[in-house]
Structure 1
Amino acid sequence: MENTLGIGLVRQPNTVLFGPGQRRQLGRIAASMGKSVLIVTDERMAGTDSFADMVADLTAQGLTVDSFTEALPDLPRSNVLAVAERFGANPPDLIVGLGGGSCMDLAKACSVVLRFGGDVRDYFGEFAVPGPTVPTIAIPTTGGTGAEVTNLAIVFDDEKQMKMAIADASIVPDVAIIDPELTVTCPPGLTAATAADALSHLVEGFTARPKNPSPDQLATEVYVGKNRITDVFCEEGLRLMNRSLGTVVETPSDLAARSDVMFAAYCAGMVINTTGTAAAHAIQSPMASIGHTPHGIGVGALLPYVMRANQPYAREEFARMADILGVGGGLESLDDKGRAAIARIEELLAAAGVPLELESLGVSEAHFDQIARSAVTARRLVLNNPAPLTEDFVKKLLARGVANDRSWWAAP
């Protein structure tokens, strides 16, 4: 767990614009990037005044505007195919992804297919994109995924019934416009789930393995470990979540709290671009097929057990987290501080309404083998986790979660 190279690395958009009301800059920014624009979003967002205002702004700047408003949750491959069929003969100069993570991932996936053709499957994996894609602008309407700044597009292959990813620096959005006002009308359940997801990104990014990558690894691998720059984003994101996560759930109209959580989610996106996520995300993916729990709730429910399992392998990181979260005062040992940090993260998860056990998510002992076998196949995530992630380890961790055993154990 040592960054012996002292390396710092993030991959990021050319421009990030943050702040209440900043969506009104869309037209001017887009006009500097082309003459025709395709907006991809979902049906709910397409019916809002904000969407109509953005279309009017783009039109007033002289752009030709088309839209695809059928984006679905857990972005299905069929969405990408539909956009390619509808707009492939006359691709736009730029694409705007407006909405949650699936809408922004749709924009990124389409930026590849509309530039290079073929099937989105042709680009699954790391660095499989031939070169620059159709320019994109990402505008999030939830505070959680960080997809507005990431080099990932997660696509559910609805024929193969599995999630796949385009992982390539070429698909990082050119511009991210992050306007907290767009999250004020976000439903409470979605607010909580996306905030829990962002919190898990920050925890897993801060405690991920530093990999001390070679030049070849930097050029060919997306997840090259935690480093000096990602730690800066983690610390700021954790501080903001600690201050405002509870408030944004209790008082959704609190714009200051919305701004804090959305900025924390942006920080988390900047982190996982380089560190990746780890055990909680590796286990949640197969677990979701059992109870169909929203992603953020699933990773949040796993996090207490993953943190306990990882703490002996990342003692200094968890101890530092206690200081960031304001719960390390008066504690001297690394282990005591680390436990205080874990307890505080659990308080934040509980404030978001995340169940801190797994049985209520439909998981039972009968599912352990199935989940464990699938979880360890997510090799990029497995290699990020500070504790060795084996099938046996996963099954023992799941047993703790089903039993709601959050005592202080040295190993699952």
Structure 2
Amino acid sequence: MRLDYGILRAPARILFGNGQRAALGRVAAELGQRVLVCTDARFAATPQMQAIRDDLERQGLAVAVFDGTQPELPLSGIVNCATRFRDFDPQVVVGLGGGSCLDLAKLAALLLTHGGQLPDYYGEMKVPGPVLPVIAVPTTSGTGSEATPVAVLGDPSRAIKVGISSPHLIPHTAICDPELTLTCPAGLTAISGADALAHAVECFAAVERPGDPAMALTRVFVGKNALGDHLALSAIRLLFDHLPRAVEDGGDLEARSAVMLGATMAGLAFGSGGTAAAHALQYPVGAETGSAHGLGIAILLPHTIDFNLVQAPGAYADLARALGLSDAADDMAAARAFAAALRDLFARIGIPAGLDALNVDPAGFGRMAELAMGATRLVENNPRPLDAAAMRGILDMAMPEPRGKAAHA
């Protein structure tokens, strides 16, 4: 683990625990009098949503609700939300739901504060200043968006999803209430939890850069660092120990709590440390197949680890030893033990082993590899150097035997 350089970017406060959603009204009232809630149609129709709205109104707040959040967060939906509620002039924006709802709240706050067009802000460090305060209330345990400086959206003019990354997008307050995840289906629990695990693993194994004092002011993802390492390791422990339980018994509140805590800690970690190859590759794979982000990440992560440990086994070896998976002195042997344990965990929660489960056409692998290289902040964060040929090799590895191994040999 790294000890000589650390960066942490985080919400002003995180309220974690069962029943913490009841604090939302008082938190919002501290920040403004007009509240815009961004959610989706499913959650908007639940008793929990009515209780939350009642709580806000008891605090004397004017409340408007946008319940049109769509999966994969299309650009048009974000613009629609900001345009529709501009005259309402919200002072606080609440994101309530899965990752798309939280990202919508961030991006609506951005447009309502600074105007312009969202493509003006694509990439890193292009948001010119603070945005309206955002309160993030996740109902799934995966994206970690409640704690990150990143929002991802779908732009029809782009072949893959695009990101806006800026410390100004970090929510002011995160309210993480595990009780809100109790109705999350087993399949979504599995792929969301696998996404959170990937955040932590890729952050822990990210490239290690010299601790330049200017780096955190010019880059969102700084790579492996001391604060990210400790958060990521804690997240990995929680998810290894509790994710299978949460998938197998959705009513296990202890497991749900541990998984939500792990997802939030993973978000805190990668909000500065960043992610890498698995995320870069999922963008084109997801665009090609229409598959869920977390599912693609979970399939790709073990194969990116296989690629990375050839030259950079140390971080994976550290994880194996910390989790009690190996006591081997040899880094390569310990790293392979971690990779094997991760595959076993994913198999237990129903994650397929290969990209064939997504009905992906290998004929498009060359184009997908080129597109993945466009995710520069992720490519540069990988511990082993990447080029289009390496990306293509990982995709080949992720196809079933014998083709994958033969293609990589």
Larger deviation, residues 273-282 vs 313-322 = 313-322
Separation (CA, whole Å) in 1 of partners of 2:23 and 2:402: 49
Q: Which amino acid aligns with 1:289?
A: A
Larger deviation, residues 376-385 vs 212-221 = 212-221
Separation (CA, whole Å) in 1 of partners of 2:295 and 2:254: 24
Q: State yes or no: 1:266 paired with 2:264.
A: yes
Q: 1:147 to 1:310 in 2, by over 3 A?
A: same
Q: Could you say which residue in structure 2 is the equivalent of 1:224? A: 222
SS at 2:154's partner residue?
strand
Separation (CA, whole Å) in 2 of partners of 1:163 and 1:401: 21
Separation (CA, whole Å) in 2 of partners of 1:149 and 1:385: 22
Structure 1 residue 363: Cα displacement: 2.6
Is this contact kept in 1: 2:140–2:180, CA < 8 A? yes
Q: Could you say which residue in structure 1 is the equivalent of 2:80? A: 82
1:1-400 paired onto structure 2 within 5 Å: 6-329=4-327, 331-400=328-397
Separation (CA, whole Å) in 1 of partners of 2:288 and 2:124: 28
Is this contact kept in 2: 1:78–1:158, CA < 8 A? no
Separation (CA, whole Å) in 1 of partners of 2:159 and 2:330: 47
SS at 2:325's partner residue?
coil
Q: 1:282 to 1:311 in 2, by over 3 A?
A: same
Structure 1 residue 119: Cα displacement: 1.8
Structure 1 residue 155: Cα displacement: 1.5
Is this contact kept in 2: 1:18–1:177, CA < 8 A? yes
Separation (CA, whole Å) in 1 of partners of 2:18 and 2:188: 20
Pairwise CA RMSD of aligned residues? 1.8
Deviations 1:121-153 (A, max 9, x none): 222221211211111100000000000010011
Structure 1 residue 322: Cα displacement: 0.8
Separation (CA, whole Å) in 2 of partners of 1:379 and 1:75: 21
The count of aligned residue pairs is 408
Separation (CA, whole Å) in 1 of partners of 2:329 and 2:261: 31
Structure 1 residue 406: Cα displacement: 11
Deviations 1:149-194 (A, max 9, x none): 1001112113445422221111100000000000000122211111
SS at 1:32's partner residue?
helix
Is this contact kept in 1: 2:141–2:192, CA < 8 A? yes
Is this contact kept in 1: 2:160–2:287, CA < 8 A? no
Separation (CA, whole Å) in 1 of partners of 2:397 and 2:148: 32
Separation (CA, whole Å) in 1 of partners of 2:219 and 2:181: 33
Structure 1 residue 32: Cα displacement: 1.0
Q: Which amino acid aligns with 2:42?
A: R
Separation (CA, whole Å) in 1 of partners of 2:204 and 2:404: 23
Larger deviation, residues 281-290 vs 93-102 = 281-290
Larger deviation, residues 101-110 vs 307-316 = 307-316
TM-score scaled by length of structure 1: 0.95
SS at 1:313's partner residue?
coil
Larger deviation, residues 153-162 vs 142-151 = 153-162
Q: 1:405 to 1:378 in 2, by over 3 A?
A: farther
Q: 1:7 to 1:332 in 2, by over 3 A?
A: closer
Q: Which amino acid aligns with 1:354?
A: I
Separation (CA, whole Å) in 2 of partners of 1:353 and 1:303: 15
Q: Which amino acid aligns with 2:342?
A: I
Is this contact kept in 2: 1:304–1:406, CA < 8 A? no
Structure 1 residue 284: Cα displacement: 1.0
Q: Which amino acid aligns with 2:273?
A: T
Q: State yes or no: 1:402 paired with 2:389.
A: no
SS at 1:191's partner residue?
helix
Structure 2 gaps of 5+ residues are none
Q: 1:71 to 1:138 in 2, by over 3 A?
A: same
Q: 1:406 to 1:248 in 2, by over 3 A?
A: farther
SS at 2:147's partner residue?
coil
Separation (CA, whole Å) in 1 of partners of 2:90 and 2:130: 15
Deviations 1:357-408 (A, max 9, x none): 1122223431221111111121111111111111111222222211346999
Is this contact kept in 2: 1:205–1:226, CA < 8 A? yes
TM-score scaled by length of structure 2: 0.96
Q: Which amino acid aligns with 1:210?
A: E
Q: Which amino acid aligns with 1:94?
A: V
Separation (CA, whole Å) in 2 of partners of 1:110 and 1:123: 13
Separation (CA, whole Å) in 2 of partners of 1:125 and 1:266: 23
Separation (CA, whole Å) in 1 of partners of 2:84 and 2:103: 18
Separation (CA, whole Å) in 2 of partners of 1:47 and 1:181: 17
